[in-house]
Amino acid sequence: MSAIHTCVCFLLWISVATQNKTPDAIVTCLVSEECMLPCNFQPSTQVTVEWFWQDVMVYKFARMDDTGNRTTSSKEHFEHEQLTGRATVSSLQISTGNATMILRRSGLKDRGTYRCHVQTSEGEHNAKVILKVEAPIQGLFLEHSRLSGYEEMKCTVRNVFPAPKVTWATEPPTFEVLRPVTRMLADKKGLYTVDSRLRRLKGQPDLIYICKMTPSYGGPAWTTSLREREIAGIQGKDLTIPCKVPTYLSSPSLQWTFSKGEKFSRILTYDSRSGRSIYSPPWDSHMELNIFRVPFGDGSLRLMDPKSSEHTGIYTCKFSVPYGVHTERNELTIQDVNGQRNVSDDSSYWWVIGVVAAVLVVALAGLLVYLKLRGRTSKLSSDPEEVTELNLVKGWLLKKIHKTGLIQKGH
């Protein structure tokens, strides 16, 4: 009988302990946003609420009701300066059994274990809240850089916590081992800036470089990729500007843009959900997108009747999905029918000619001064051979200037 009695008592103790045990609440907040730490209990006329952070009291509220005199007295104050001015507990809600703490402008220092202890005339209540504060990835930035003395791909993310894991890949895959260099730096608030760099592989100009960052807390992984090309076309002759989606993206939306120096314009946007494309003038009369091929990963554009002065520049297509972006940058040069350079090339060409002509003019002037001074001392003006030599030098310099195209006959 004693063994059975002991077993029954043990089971009853487990049952009571299980019923009184409140499961821990896990709350995840974003940096600088508002957090809610829940605490609910059975309301009572007399109540004392205490909030603890890491076993240190940070808030206390006490209300005592004298039912005979129908008077109520309440006291409320925060015990910890870290939460002062940012945390609130509604005294009106406490009377209804809600002692939830609202924490504004949350930061990484607020992480930890919070405990809500409530004492009422009806009994005691405890609630444990584990607060996690994170700064998730909002977007990746991938660019082609030459600042380190060699060509490399640079993948960057800023203001994140915790620091993510970075991996690189190419499409198509390459047999070469990728050796990126990744740096993670934390600021005063504890937020990370992650900078990962990978040298471009030689002899493979058409590769897609893929940078992937995976949060260590198990959130969605972000991916960005880039491919760059140089394309040449002839004025008046239609051509295709390629743009192919990599295999890791599914049902992306598409956007085309054009840039030339400081000039920037949007060409079109394509919505993968509706299957519709919207052109921006004046590109609607020069561009054509085959919307039936976009769902199969081909967002190439047909450029009709291109002109050297108007359509030479950089064409960028961008495929995008949640947590992923693929960019293709095409640098297009349009030459006219005679193969002449465009306006920007001509300007640089004439600039070089001007410099060469200026050097020749200075050289000619210096030589003339030198020969004149020399003639005064040695009376070379009466020597026919010296005069002939001077004329030959003048003729040679004038021919060089004529070749630059700056001096025309008859001027």
pLDDT in tens, 80-105: 777 878 999 998 899 899 999 999 99
Cβ atoms of 199 and 152 closer than 8 Å: yes
Cβ atoms of 298 and 290 closer than 8 Å: yes
Residue 238 has pLDDT above 90, yes or no: yes
Give CA–CA dist 71/256, Å, rounded.
71
> In degrees rounded to 5, what are phi and psi of residue 174?
-115, 155
Give CA–CA dist 269/256, Å, rounded.
6
Give CA–CA dist 269/255, Å, rounded.
4
Tokens of 232: 């040449």
Tokens of 291: 């919307």
Q: Give me the pLDDT at residue 175, please.
A: 87
β-partners of residue 334 are 233
pLDDT in tens, 202-217: 888 889 999 999 998 8
Give CA–CA dist 391/244, Å, rounded.
65
Q: Give me the pLDDT at residue 239, please.
A: 95
Greatest alpha-carbon pair distance for the chain in Å reads 148
Q: Do the bridges between strand 301-303 and strand 56-66 make them parallel or antiparallel, or are there none, so unpaired?
A: unpaired
Q: Which of 40-49, 77-86, 145-154 has the lowest mean pLDDT?
A: 77-86
Instruction: Give the pLDDT band of residue 411 (cuts 50, 70, 90).
Output: very low
Query: In Å, how far are 72, 114, 116, 127, 156 from 23, measured between CA atoms?
Result: 33, 13, 13, 8, 40
Tokens 């006959």 correspond to what residue? Answer: 409
Helices 343-378 and 384-404, axial angle in degrees (round to 10): 170
Counting Cα atoms < 13 Å in the Cβ hemisphere of 313 gives 18
228-340 is classed CATH 2.60.40.10: yes
> In degrees rounded to 5, what are phi and psi of residue 365?
-65, -40
Give alpha helix (H) positions in 280-380.
308-311, 343-378
Tokens of 156: 């960057």
Residue 306 has pLDDT above 60, yes or no: yes
- Peptide bond just before 282 cis, omega within 30 deg: yes
Please give the mean pLDDT across all residues of the chain: 82
> In degrees rounded to 5, what are phi and psi of residue 63?
-135, 130
pLDDT in tens, 377-395: 444 444 555 545 555 555 6
% the chain with pLDDT above 90: 56
Give CA–CA dist 45/237, Å, rounded.
87
Name the fold adopted by 21-134. Immunoglobulin-like (2.60.40)
Residue 349 has pLDDT above 50, yes or no: no
Give CA–CA dist 196/155, Å, rounded.
5
Q: Give me the pLDDT at residue 81, please.
A: 75
Give CA–CA dist 30/27, Å, rounded.
10
pLDDT in tens, 159-212: 999 999 999 999 999 988 999 999 999 999 999 999 999 999 988 888 999 999
Name the fold adopted by 135-220. Immunoglobulin-like (2.60.40)
Query: In Å, how far are 110, 191, 196, 354 from 187, measured between CA atoms?
Result: 17, 6, 17, 51
Q: Give me the pLDDT at residue 150, please.
A: 84
What is the separation of C-alpha 95 from the centre of its chain, rounded to a whole number of angstroms?
Answer: 48
User: What pTM does this model have?
Assistant: 0.70
Residue 25 has pLDDT above 70, yes or no: yes
Q: What is the mean pLDDT of residues 341-357?
A: 52
pLDDT in tens, 312-341: 999 999 999 999 999 999 999 999 876 554
